[in-house]
Structure 1
């Protein structure tokens, strides 16, 4: 039949099937409308079938008894094909289980190695023994699987050898059996290598000795185990040792030697020619398939399968041509480091020399091309980048075409739709090959994976997830129309088969071609059966044998057979191929570097943020894989990509919001457009992703984080609530994030620094703030910002209203602790021998002058001399003398006492504000005995009255905290052991002189730029000095010094000297009445000096007057 008539027949059949499906869809829609409405209208995101229907072959055949009889007869006449097909199907199933066991074995071994690297030797050994004990059942399963594989391989070789010996088989049978065999041989080689290179192999002897010691222990063996159980355990250990010690492949070779003994040499000679042909074909595939020199490093399965097959055939005694063996040796010697799985390295030459020693002579030294690796790998990486870009374009166009065909209707474009399905799987294969090639190439050549390579892998993973999402979101359409396409292709094959049968009957070759006709009838029935997936292998064997034996069929018909059968195979295994193509287990090797790279690209470098959901999907699949195989530690410190992106976004966004909220405190930027601002909105708007079995929304996670952060920070620092409210506002304005309001009792806008914050940092506050006694406020000395903080009575009252009056007593207690430390420093300074000796000398001088003449002031020269002598003792790194440091201690004490006064004033202010809510009339409520009350109520009223009375005592307006602080420290100062403190009043003139010099210098520095720690006032010194004098009962002695009178006399004498100099210069100018230019210059310099000196005297006089006014005012506080 011509191709056109065949197509017309298939199209008519397909149209009839399409009409049937439309009618069926109409009935389903009518039934759906009658059903209750449900909310489960979500788009599926998984390729797993929604409903899995399993049928029983026996039940199906029982429906047609006549067909069952004919099928049995034809299967009996073609029992060789049925047997080989069944064995090949078993190979596929065992290969699937072998991949899962390999992955679990490798992940368990990698987990043990990670734990052993960070622990001591004893802990690592204990953990390894524990893990090996837990994995005993898994090891037994591996042994059973491998034993099953070995038996199956032996049986397949036996079958194919026997069939070829009696001339019932064909070369197509040999090639099909070898195709299935080499897949299992590959898994055997991989198992042999991963077990031999694992940590289980190194610790097996230790574990075995431990078990033997445990079995010999009478306490353990008698109570927990019987003799039969111990024997069973010993047998299991012996079986597991075969797996752990890497003797899996030798076990296969031993089985083949037993098979060789059972068969004759002629039996093996029957497949010798076919074996050599198959080996040549595989070598040709290896050489022609590689797109670059290192293609087999990237995909080593072809080399592994060829090596294992050659070893098996050689051990069976099948003769391999000498030239062919030489070519095999040369080919395998090129590859010395092949990455089988993750970091498992394998060498085919070493493998052959170990298991087939006499096969061929291998070279002693292999060529070392490590120097060329880096340059060649760089070229390959550039090619991979080009391929990645091309795939991006092709996959984007493919996705658009698929969606367009589905929207337009598939039945009208079924041929185009089938091509799109094949193209999608082709793209998935290309992406998988690129990913595996990149990883295996770097592992095999021992080249570190760079950041650029990891970015390429991430991009390829995104493309793979795009294809998967396209298939998953349209899986109903794919499954529905895929069956129509398969039926279309099956009708084509059936038409070709009917045409072939007619030719056989017309040519009157029925007697000679009875077997072929029987095979064709069996193929027709298998194609019409429901279980076409299970029968594909047998159909392939029948068609291959038919095409091989039937020479009368034209070449075009043979090509049509092969093409259509291959297409049916491809489409029938669609679900299985898709599952394998979207498996990302090979990424486990670079999982951690993949997570770091993607986090860096998306968050820090602001690459394509919309690709995050694809990376999340890939890593979620890897996490599921580790959880399924129970090798993931719940307490592991490693995070997922989602956790890393979330942590990085939280940190960067919080920093960004802080900068925005505090931007008014920064200096203006000269070039604001040169500073790049990172836009995080694309990262935040990522669609929901599945993580650990739950859907996670990145935006909601960020909102929860900021809600908790703002709440906690506002709770810790309620004075800074305005900043966090600004950050919450900017989070909504810039990123559309809506953190929940904290609903805390926030402070008012004019709150100032909170009392609790000052209380915790009283030592810093006393040294960085200056006190103004008249204005009742503290001003910050220096700050990096544009503004200085001010604390007044109003701010303290606001804090008291926020936290309650209970904070006052607590704050006073903190200040008491601070004053204890300062007084210890004060006492240590006066107790020093240098200071104490000089004060004793001054005390003797003071007594002598007092005996000579009463009410004599302290000399100015002695105070000035005392300062100079103290300065000779040394200075600090900042240039401060011991007198400067002592003055600072007294200032800190005065600031602390001044803060107590500010607290008292603020508390009174807060009480005055609260009084507005009280009644105007002070009514006294009494308990009327006439009104009956319960005893519990009366007790509650008494306790309430007691609490109110206690609060009244603690927080009454008459409470004087100055007296409390004086009463607390007076026992210390009046102690007889502190005799050195009695001469303190004699150092006050020097202290005052030092303070005045310091104040004059600071006020001069105010007019200069970039001078830190400048203040307009510092009344803390006056308060601290008076406070200490009152506690030492030395106020009278201080007044007897009459230091104010001494300073006034000194300033008047200096002012008189200035006037005399000015008068003398003026008189001299009038007497000479000459205007010499040189003399005028000298007079001008003299007048400038006199003016500067006059201003200096006025500044000192002003500071002295201000200080004595402050001292007089401070004395009132402590009277």
Structure 2
């Protein structure tokens, strides 16, 4: 009972949330003009209800094909099923497979390279998809194999059994639809091949995942897996790798593609291969005739390439040089379209494809050799042609499309009722196809121009970019128009399709009557004999052809009278292939008209998806570098500001692709943030700047004395009122701090960029000040400083809450630095040197010694320096020292923020009573008989004082930062850190040497003075902090390092002074010569020791 109540409660909450969401959407649809305008240009993905027009068939292929001619039925059912299955798989690939493959491995803009293990995780999350992809490919290959077998059986040349073969009458029928569907299947496989080849993340992730599995296989229990599970997973991954990386189309050129069909049998069936070649030639001629014209259909270029793929397959089958005329036709396509786009940004170069897949005997053709020689010239000419079309014809196309927008809006509008119903439907039908073809042409120009410039590495100039932006705007305007009139289009779509189908019926009806008359005239047998003959295919050949033609006409009429679904259109095309056979009585022009009507019906029936295709600009994601320039152009041309929504809509299309492709949320958010930054930087920021400039000019032109008597509060107040009057802008209230002339560096900026601050500033512990490094101010004659007063001013501006936020940022920074710290000590070279030091120190302790010798520390410094130097001459120990100094600077900044908070609290409470005394202003006000308002004011004051007291007492931030890291860094997982105290002596020597060099550079000029500094207490603070965190203070004290260093350098000082005893040298010239000889005999190391002694004494 409780479970039922819980489910009921879940349903109730779901309904409430859905109702709330719908009401929010409906509130956007207001009757006001402004809301209506927003509705016209709004995001079409935000509609509460979306209209999708799609004819749905309620019958199967078996139900649709039902005539009295049973052999004809069987043949047509098999072909229709195969063709329909291929088209369904292609549709599935467009909506599910291609987007997932294209967006696989996309990273956000902040991630230049994938993090360690990220690709393996991505592949693991998509592994189910890759398994489904294998099933998809297997199913598509099986259907293609079956279609090839059916074509081979239909066109079999076994004339000895022709009287018994049920499809002998089909030998002269050109099954164009079947061959085109075979081309569609090949195109699908090739598209997957090209996406996998161009998206290197797929192959790289599979390789890394397999490598990871090899590691898992050695210790499966550590990953909570059984050995059988690992082997099974490795087998599945290898299967994915072999299928995808081996080339799907290349496998179709091998023998395993044909299943039970003997490959030799297919190669010897010349009639079948010739029929396929005829359909390829005819399809290429028809598509080439429409190419680069306003009659080009959206899928023409894909079909063209599919036919080329069939030609390649045919070249492998015949085993001989291909036909010259068809080869010239293919090379003509290569010349007119040297680059084809299969999906989104996936480009395919036909010539490279032919070189990679044609057999050697076909590649030896002189025509192909010549095309390979002229490939560079063809590409350059194609680029020039596209640029010419963009510059000279794009304006014409834009004008045509603008006229179409106006015409379509007025014709489709429900208020237009002047035309007769048939004329109005015919006009709408024509405008639908015209709009789709125009948009398809513009989209090709946009995508091809951008891609060919990127392919040939030719930059796009500003004028070309401006025209490309105009093309994208028109495309999105077409999409918005279809969306705006979607309801009217949906209401008339069924009638428009019936009108087009009626034109096919009008051409088929006379043909049916003529066939029935011919069959009646030739019939001299009883009905029973006719039925037996139709079942066995015996009798006269002409009689059988007429019977088949009549059955095809009946099927075509039935399909033309029914729903325009994908199944019906496929069956209709196959029936028309039979009807329009070479020996039929159908004129060529009538056959061509019916085929064109079928193409238009298919286009209009799926107009919803077709419009999305021809107006999709998701390929702009890979050319998003042009986005800021496009927005900048919009701002410079004030008259084009109304096009902003269209440009934003074009650049937002990649988001829909990412959502469909199941991309990571971080990638989508990164791209949306990139769009927002481009709009902010190129539109909002310049607009705000220009508005501010205009307001300032207006204000200062009326107050010429503003430069003498500055009153920012009054000036900004006048600007605020003027902005409301002139621009209708509601500016924020003025929040200028009263009588504050200087705030200094803002702590918030330092906190947000603490990684830069600690590297560019040095810390002085005594004076509590940060001083900018000289190297960071090369172009200035002064250095910036940050002290407690600056911090107190920032706290006064932003409040005491920034103190806790600073600690959080410092914690994050220290966590990152401890990772680098651990990696340095984990290095094999460093670890081995420290192990040697540990062994040496242990031997000293066993011998009764207690001081760590200075010579040993200097030797370790030299050994680490031998490991290598950076370009700046820094050793690994120098970088490690800088790391600790930056950690100390971060701690010094936290300490300064704490002191700044105390300074602020003490200044704010200077005129208050002693906060340690218990006193309540609320109680005092109540006792004094003050009104309720005064008592409430006393309560507020008490709360402010309590908050001030808490801030004044504060917390020990340094202790918190120590405790939070101690437990983790002292664990067994970080045992390599236990010898850190042994490298501290070497670090101190390295720090003293670096400080001496830095102080010497302070007195020099030029480039040598760039790295000078006179304080770096951050190193000492960081060193003490690390020892505290690691709990190695006692270990370090046991080294007696400072005593050892003091004794060592005092001894060195005495030895050097004894060697340079001036009393024993004498005077005069002779004494000077003796003193010079002794000074020259001092080694470099002794001179260095003298400097260290001097520094130690100071």
Q: Shorter chain as normaliser: what TM range?
A: 0.5 to 0.7
Match of 1:648 among 682, 696, 700: 682
Maintained 8 Å contact 2:96/2:660 = no
SS in 1 for 2:731: coil
TM-score where L is the length of structure 2: 0.54
Q: Name the structure 1 match of 2:245.
A: 245
1:377 aligns to 2:383 (yes or no) = yes
Q: Which range moves more in the overlay, 556-565 or 462-471?
A: 556-565
Q: Could you report, residue by residue, the CA deviation over 1:247-281 in whole angstroms, capped at 9, with x for unpaired residues? A: 32233233236555267258732212213323433
Match of 1:595 among 610, 627, 638: 627
Q: Name the structure 1 match of 2:146.
A: 155
Equivalent residues in 2 for 1:499-514, closer than 5 Å: 499-507=510-518, 508-509=520-521, 511=523, 512=543, 513-514=546-547
The structure-2 alpha-carbon separation of the partners of 1:719 and 1:132, relative to structure 1 and needing over 3 Å to count, comes to: farther
Larger radius of gyration between Structure 1 and Structure 2? 1
Match of 2:397 among 387, 391, 397: 391
CA distance in 2, matches of 1:69, 1:218: 56
Give the C-alpha shift of residue 241 in structure 1: 0.5
SS in 2 for 1:271: helix
Equivalent residues in 2 for 1:638-1037, closer than 5 Å: 639-663=673-697, 720-739=712-731, 741=733, 754-757=738-741
Give the C-alpha shift of residue 595 in structure 1: 1.7
Give the C-alpha shift of residue 608 in structure 1: 1.0
TM-score where L is the length of structure 1: 0.53
Q: Could you report, residue by residue, the CA deviation over 1:198-220 in whole angstroms, capped at 9, with x for unpaired residues? A: 13324543331211211331323
Give the C-alpha shift of residue 538 in structure 1: 0.5
The structure-2 alpha-carbon separation of the partners of 1:754 and 1:519, relative to structure 1 and needing over 3 Å to count, comes to: closer
Give the C-alpha shift of residue 733 in structure 1: 2.8
CA distance in 2, matches of 1:38, 1:304: 46
CA distance in 1, matches of 2:253, 2:926: 108
The structure-2 alpha-carbon separation of the partners of 1:514 and 1:304, relative to structure 1 and needing over 3 Å to count, comes to: closer
Give the C-alpha shift of residue 284 in structure 1: 4.0
The structure-2 alpha-carbon separation of the partners of 1:617 and 1:75, relative to structure 1 and needing over 3 Å to count, comes to: farther
Calculate the aligned-residue CA RMSD, in Å. 4.8
Q: Could you report, residue by residue, the CA deviation over 1:293-320 in whole angstroms, capped at 9, with x for unpaired residues? A: xx99x99746643442223223334766
1:108 aligns to 2:103 (yes or no) = yes
SS in 2 for 1:359: helix
Give the C-alpha shift of residue 481 in structure 1: 1.9
Give the C-alpha shift of residue 546 in structure 1: 1.0
Structure 1 unaligned residues grouped into runs of 5+: 1-35, 62-66, 670-717, 747-752, 762-802, 805-906, 909-923, 948-1119
Equivalent residues in 2 for 1:29-44, closer than 5 Å: none
Give the C-alpha shift of residue 142 in structure 1: 2.3
CA distance in 2, matches of 1:601, 1:196: 36
Structure 2 unaligned residues grouped into runs of 5+: 1-25, 157-164, 524-542, 704-709, 746-795, 798-909, 912-923, 946-1098
CA distance in 2, matches of 1:609, 1:491: 47
1:576 aligns to 2:582 (yes or no) = no
Q: Name the structure 2 match of 1:32.
A: none
CA distance in 1, matches of 2:460, 2:562: 51
1:128 aligns to 2:119 (yes or no) = yes
CA distance in 2, matches of 1:322, 1:758: 86
Q: Could you report, residue by residue, the CA deviation over 1:435-487 in whole angstroms, capped at 9, with x for unpaired residues? A: 23213432443323333333222211111122222222112221222222222
Maintained 8 Å contact 2:86/2:181 = yes
The structure-2 alpha-carbon separation of the partners of 1:476 and 1:518, relative to structure 1 and needing over 3 Å to count, comes to: same
1:543 aligns to 2:583 (yes or no) = no
Q: Could you report, residue by residue, the CA deviation over 1:809-850 in whole angstroms, capped at 9, with x for unpaired residues? A: xxxxxxxxxxxxxxxxxxxxxxxxxxxxxxxxxxxxxxxxxx
The structure-2 alpha-carbon separation of the partners of 1:376 and 1:163, relative to structure 1 and needing over 3 Å to count, comes to: closer
SS in 1 for 2:269: helix
SS in 1 for 2:651: helix
Q: Could you report, residue by residue, the CA deviation over 1:969-1027 in whole angstroms, capped at 9, with x for unpaired residues? A: xxxxxxxxxxxxxxxxxxxxxxxxxxxxxxxxxxxxxxxxxxxxxxxxxxxxxxxxxxx
Maintained 8 Å contact 2:321/2:362 = no
The structure-2 alpha-carbon separation of the partners of 1:380 and 1:363, relative to structure 1 and needing over 3 Å to count, comes to: closer
SS in 1 for 2:373: coil
Give the C-alpha shift of residue 348 in structure 1: 3.2
Equivalent residues in 2 for 1:470-549, closer than 5 Å: 470-507=481-518, 508-509=520-521, 511=523, 512=543, 513-530=546-563, 532-548=565-581
The structure-2 alpha-carbon separation of the partners of 1:475 and 1:641, relative to structure 1 and needing over 3 Å to count, comes to: same
Maintained 8 Å contact 1:189/1:249 = yes
Match of 1:446 among 450, 457, 464: 457
The structure-2 alpha-carbon separation of the partners of 1:440 and 1:84, relative to structure 1 and needing over 3 Å to count, comes to: farther
CA distance in 2, matches of 1:454, 1:584: 15
Q: Could you report, residue by residue, the CA deviation over 1:913-943 in whole angstroms, capped at 9, with x for unpaired residues? A: xxxxxxxxxxx99979xx9x9xxx99x99x9
The structure-2 alpha-carbon separation of the partners of 1:579 and 1:73, relative to structure 1 and needing over 3 Å to count, comes to: farther
Give the C-alpha shift of residue 602 in structure 1: 0.9
CA distance in 1, matches of 2:514, 2:357: 55
CA distance in 1, matches of 2:686, 2:660: 34
Q: Name the structure 1 match of 2:444.
A: 433
SS in 2 for 1:264: helix
CA distance in 1, matches of 2:358, 2:691: 67
CA distance in 2, matches of 1:272, 1:579: 37
Match of 1:408 among 378, 401, 416: 416
Indicate the structure whose relative CO is greater, using CA pairs within 8 Å and at least 6 residues apart: 2
Q: Name the structure 2 match of 1:552.
A: 585
Match of 2:642 among 586, 606, 610: 610
CA distance in 1, matches of 2:740, 2:89: 72
Give the C-alpha shift of residue 401 in structure 1: 2.0
Maintained 8 Å contact 1:78/1:519 = no
Give the C-alpha shift of residue 148 in structure 1: 2.0
Q: Name the structure 2 match of 1:96.
A: 91
Maintained 8 Å contact 2:149/2:261 = no
Maintained 8 Å contact 2:152/2:266 = no
Give the C-alpha shift of residue 663 in structure 1: 3.1
Give the C-alpha shift of residue 127 in structure 1: 2.3
1:359 aligns to 2:362 (yes or no) = yes
The structure-2 alpha-carbon separation of the partners of 1:278 and 1:125, relative to structure 1 and needing over 3 Å to count, comes to: farther
Q: Which range moves more in the overlay, 429-438 or 730-739?
A: 730-739
Residue correspondences, number: 676
Q: Name the structure 1 match of 2:849.
A: none
Maintained 8 Å contact 2:56/2:563 = no
The structure-2 alpha-carbon separation of the partners of 1:76 and 1:112, relative to structure 1 and needing over 3 Å to count, comes to: farther
